[in-house]
Amino acid sequence: MSFLQQSLLWGLFAASIPIIIHLLNRRRHRTVKWAAMEFLLKATRESRGKKKLKYLVILACRTLAIAAVIFAIARPLVGGFLGWGGTRIDTVILVLDRSASMEQQASYGSGGNRESKRQSAIASVRKSLEKLNNPRLILIDSATGTPQDVPSPDALEELSATSATDTSASIPSLISNAIDYVVENSPGRTEIWVASDLQESDWAPEQGRWEAIRTGLIDLPQKTTLRVLSLASPAQNNTAIRVLSSRRSGDELVLDLELTRTDHEGPSAVPITYSLNGARSSNKVTINGQSYQFQKRLPLGNRESVGHGFVSIPSDTNPRDNVSFFAYGEDAPTTTYLVTEGGEAPTWLTLASAPPGFGRSRCIELAPNNAHKIEWPGAALVIWQAPLPQGTVAQELARYIEAGGAAIMLPPRGESETTFLGLNWGEQTISPRDQYFIINEWDQADGPLRNGAEGTAIPVPKLKAIKRRQIIGEATTLASWDDAQPFLVRRIIGDGTAIFAATLPDYTWSNLGDADVLLPVVQRMIAVGDARFGSAFAAISGSSQAKTAAGEVRTRLDSHATSTTSNAAYEAGVWKLGDRLLATNRPQSEDQWQILTKNRLGALLEGTPYKLFEDQGQSDSLTQEVWRAFLIAMLVFLTTEAILCLQPKVGNSKS
């Protein structure tokens, strides 16, 4: 509980007045022994205890009534967000999630509230700060990650640093930045407020840095409370569109597209608009299920070899995922790094990474002890066929994946006890003589084993293995053996993807080296990692590639929207950055709508002074004045005291 007029709490000493009066009254009377009274005292001794208890209750009611009046005058504040914490707050550090998913509207429809979760959070924080007499406010937004002073809560809604973006959010990094700010600046009694929709991909619960965050919060020099404003209402009535890839094929531009929706009961026809170099066309696509991938070919005619455009769908509850941009031109080479312990597997992996005729692809093979030579910024794919990485290399690989990279992890020949991204290799198993491990189920709609754009299935049942390793840990299973053990699992970390496969492309292990399965898996993972460069034509909003370099001037080319200069680097669109043509889009992780559960959040922040407040999408204050409750309590105490003071009626005796 907090108080708007804390100085008035000194008046609580007045609650002792009834007790003082009681003690003074006891001193006024002298005890005089009188023999005749012994008979009366003996007659009433049995009821004396009840009378004493009654008098103590009356005294307590008088004392509590005065205390309730003082509390009411001090204007107490309570609320799930501010909890029952108590003293004056000097500084509030607001960690604001500005990711694309925060533009989901809390309610939608005719006459409904079209306020986004981000707007709701800002309005609630502003009203709460006003009721706390406006402590110093430090804003750390998810796009820039930089602390900045906000002169007044009223300015929150006008700042470019609180506006909508098409970026993701790294909540662990933002909380770490807030902890660093407290340590470096000693801002007095501080509270860290995190306003987020608790999207799991933004909170990254599998990251190892949460242990350091817990330790940092506990070890702060002053008691600092972490308060989480959760806007975790599930996304509803929302459909997202994404350009998976764009490429020239003769006189056509081939677009690989994906539709994703929150409600997937029954088929639905979605109108799609295609804009190519200013020329627009449209058609309808029927989606039946949660996601649907398809291909669209747009005629180029005699247009130049470089161009751009976008695809869009009608606006719904989240306008930030209703459009996706593309640009095309001459593709730059892609580089795959293969970290391997040798044997037969590297031969097949190199062929799958850079097949003959793929002049724009190259594969660089490295031994595990030379993995530090990987040039992470230029890697489209990292294939790791060795014991799982440790130390600095493991950290660099995790950062590479989080930044949008792709990795394929293959089992080592020997035992490995290392854990990476929450997964590790288990024991090796060998199939019975004259029998094989075969694939029983696989995801034909998602992942590297999905069907082609024309519905052609990969011949996964042809894969047979005699050796495999168990994959231990929590991940999404994309394919499983006939005994339900996973063959292929996926972890999405930040903006990137890592898959673990349970067998090797080595004929002493399996026939995975055949091109039927390995080639499409590797090439599709290269496309995932290559998307962060887009062959120099695509980038993730907010990434380093999407920002201007020295001497570059930013110009927006598409006609879908306009941008302010201060926020342009964090918005999706087609841009001319100096000599570069670049299409930026929201990260793929922003279309992963899984919400972090309360139990998972509690596990991440276990042992820390944190409070959770669940906002239901209403831009109301996070605090409430409850002085009326104390006035009601005062009336209850006084009424009880009056009833107890009434003398009982003496009944007439009958002779």
| Per-residue confidence (pLDDT) for residue 34, from 0 to 100 | 61
Mean pLDDT of 82-105: 80
Q: What SS3 state is found at 166?
A: coil
Highest mean predicted confidence (pLDDT) among 1-15, 379-393, 449-463: 379-393
User: Across the chain, which distance is largest between two alpha carbons, in Å?
Assistant: 127
The SS3 of residue 291 is: strand
pLDDT (average), residues 439-459: 84
**The predicted structure's pLDDT at residue 649:** 61
Asked whether the predicted pLDDT for residue 356 surpasses 90, the reply is: no
Q: Write out pLDDT tens, residues 159-185.
A: 999 999 999 999 999 999 999 999 999
Q: 37 falls in which pLDDT band (50, 70, 90)?
A: low
Q: What is the mean pLDDT of residues 110-130?
A: 80
pLDDT at 5: 57
Proportion of the chain above pLDDT 70, given as a percent = 83
Supply the pLDDT for residue 442.
Answer: 92
Of 208, 203, 592, 589, give the one whose Cα is nearest residue 423.
Answer: 208
Which among 143, 118, 166 is positioned nearest to 588, based on CA atoms? 166
| Model pLDDT for residues 468-486, shown as the tens digit of each residue | 999 999 889 999 999 999 9
Q: Which residue ranges does the chain devote to CATH 3.40.50.880?
A: 334-530
Output the pLDDT for position 621.
Answer: 47
Mean of per-residue pLDDT scores for the chain: 84
Fold of 334-530: Rossmann fold (3.40.50)
Rounded mean pLDDT of 619-647?
A: 70
Model pLDDT, residue 161: 93
Provide the strand spans (E) within 521-640: 538-540, 554-556, 573-577, 580-585, 610-614, 624-625
Give all strands of the β-sheet with 573-577 in edge-to-edge order: 538-540, 580-585, 573-577, 554-556
Question: Per-residue pLDDT for 109 more than 50?
Answer: no
Predicted local distance difference test score (pLDDT) of residue 620: 47
Each residue's pLDDT tens digit, 49-81? 667 777 788 878 888 888 878 777 766 655 544
Most trustworthy range by pLDDT among 102-106, 127-131, 159-163: 159-163
Mean pLDDT, to the nearest integer, of 443-458? 82
- 616 band by pLDDT with thresholds 50, 70 and 90: low
Give this prediction's pTM.
Answer: 0.65
- What pLDDT is stored for residue 270 in this prediction? 94
* pLDDT on residue 533: 59
Q: What is the pLDDT of residue 264?
A: 73
pLDDT at 82: 46
Residues of the chain with CATH 3.40.50.410: 91-235+595-622
At residue 9, the pLDDT reads 65
Average pLDDT score over residue span 494-520: 90
Contact status, residue 364 vs residue 560, Cβ threshold 8 Å? no
Average pLDDT over residues 217-240: 87
Q: Which of the two residues, 437 and 26, has the higher pLDDT score? A: 437
What is the reported pLDDT for 237?
A: 86
Beta bridge partner(s), residue 141: 96
* Assigned CATH for 91-235+595-622: 3.40.50.410
589, 495 Cβ separation under 8 angstroms: yes
- Reported as a pLDDT band with limits 50, 70 and 90, residue 536 is low
What is the Cα 214 distance to its own chain's centre? 17
- How would residue 416 be classed by pLDDT, with cut points 50, 70 and 90? confident
- Which pLDDT band, with edges at 50, 70 and 90, does 304 fall under? low
Across 438-465, average pLDDT:
86
Ranges in the chain annotated CATH 2.60.40.10: 239-330+534-591
User: What is the secondary structure of 95-111 as a DSSP string?
Assistant: EE--SGGGGSBSS-STT
Which tokens go with 501?
């496969």
Q: Mean pLDDT across the stretch 572-582? A: 90
d(CA 589, CA 202): 8
Report pLDDT for 655.
43
- For 223, list phi and psi in degrees, rounded to 5: -65, 115
41: pLDDT strictly greater than 80: no
Q: 629 to each of 3, 61, 261, 576, 632, how far by Cα in Å?
A: 14, 16, 46, 61, 5
pLDDT at 528: 83
Architecture of domain 239-330+534-591: Sandwich (2.60)
- Mean pLDDT, range 554-571, rounded to an integer: 85
pLDDT of residue 112: 52
